[in-house]
Amino acid sequence: MIIIKTDRLILRSFMEEDLQGFSEYRSDPEVARYQTWNTPYPLEQANFLFTEMSKTEPGTPGEWYQIAIERKDHPGIIGDCGFETKRYDRQQAEIGFSFAQPFQKQGYATEAVRGLIDYLFSTFNLHRIIAICDVENQASVRLLERLGMRREGHYIENIWFKGKWGSEYLYAVLKREWQINETGKNESHNFSVIK
């Protein structure tokens, strides 16, 4: 069980009450547009994922672990984020994230992903965290750059994705860079992990 708290949010393992909301926002074509799943995303598929997650130890190399995101002042899933420690190198991890449309553009994603990166660097012996996004996914590009991640790669038509060749950016941040960046920031940075 993971519980990460930020100023406004709680990031935690999935609960049965999340099924409906999770299935609904994953069924939104705009949310799914640059993601691997297709719409609709039925309850059965959500249930299968939740069951898989309940059997997965967070940080197991080669296995994604997805985490629900809810507001502290209002229960209910508003999005999720996830990470995968790499099988080829357990000191490197990849992250991903999605928010239901009504909860986008309010800074929640920035706050949640910052909390996730804090958690990952402080909990696992990670050296580097990466994120991969479609070059057309401008909201994701802005989010990753806002977090101070560096664009290290621009792959041209490297992936057959939803009926056409897609191009992707690879973003990365090292632990020492994250620590320096975050220390240099003056904004409040409230984060705690409950194990």
CB 11 within 8 A of CB 195: no
Nearest distance in Å: CB 108, ligand COA: 4
Question: Where along the sequence are the contacts to ligand COA (CB under 6 A)?
Answer: 31, 34-35, 96-99, 104-110, 133, 137, 139-140, 142-143
Burial 77-98 (b: 16+ CB within 10 A, else e): bbbbbbbbbeeeebebbbbbbb
Q: Between 138-146 and 108-123, two packed helices, what is the crossing angle to 10 degrees?
A: 50
Nearer to ligand COA, 41 or 108 (CB): 108
Nearest distance in Å: CB 152, ligand COA: 15
Nearer to ligand COA, 27 or 98 (CB): 98
Sort strands 164-174 and 3-5 into parallel, antiparallel or unpaired.
unpaired
Alpha helices in 76-151 (DSSP H): 108-123, 138-146
Nearer to ligand COA, 15 or 139 (CB): 139
Nearer to ligand COA, 139 or 194 (CB): 139
Nearest distance in Å: CB 24, ligand COA: 14
